[in-house]
Amino acid sequence: MDLPFITYNPDLLATVAPQLEAELAEQLAQRNFSEQAKGILKRLLAGQRPGIDDLARELHMSTRTLQRRLTEEGISFQRLLEDARRELARHYLLHSSRELNETAYLLGYEDANSFFRAFHHWEGTSPGQWREFQKNSATQTHLATPAMRRQASLGFHRTIKGGGL
């Protein structure tokens, strides 16, 4: 895990880190343990590949205690890491115009292809297609009612599961 990142970008990291830190600090105060741990993982993911030892250190507890606490809430470290990456990926794709390889770097992936495979597993489509669909959907539903927006979202998930995209 001490291998250098191919896509390392210190300027991008310096730009993103302060905003992410502030948002996460605000959200952490209102969450259960696994949600707090996921929030810390999101912060640790900024250009790194955090392990369970890193998370335990941030939480000021032993690795074993962290594993026990996560098990009590029915989640593994690997699942928590995947959930953090997925949520951040969706956020980055929706709220920025970053290149996909920059997004992969920020999520702690060694290369963009690993990110593309993971994203396709999560969403059933490529990051670029998902971003484009979300942009088009937001434009079309901007003036729609909440019920219409929910229906559009369900239609997207149905299309993906049915192999339409």
Q: What is the pLDDT of residues 70-119, one digit of tens each?
A: 999 999 999 999 999 999 999 999 998 889 999 999 999 988 999 999 99
Which position has the token pair 């606490």? 69
- The pLDDT assigned to 29 comes to 61
The answer to whether the beta carbons of residues 82 and 117 sit under 8 Å apart is no
Q: What is the pTM of this model?
A: 0.68
3-state secondary structure the chain: CCCCCCCCCHHHHHHHHHHHHHHHHHHHCCCCHHHHHHHHHHHHCCCCCCCHHHHHHHCCCCHHHHHHHHHHCCCCHHHHHHHHHHHHHHHHHHHCCCCHHHHHHHCCCCCHHHHHHHHHHHHCCCHHHHHHHHHHHHHHCCCCCHHHHHHHHHHHHHHHHCCCC
Q: Which whole number is the average pLDDT over 56-67?
A: 96
Q: What is the mean pLDDT of the chain?
A: 83
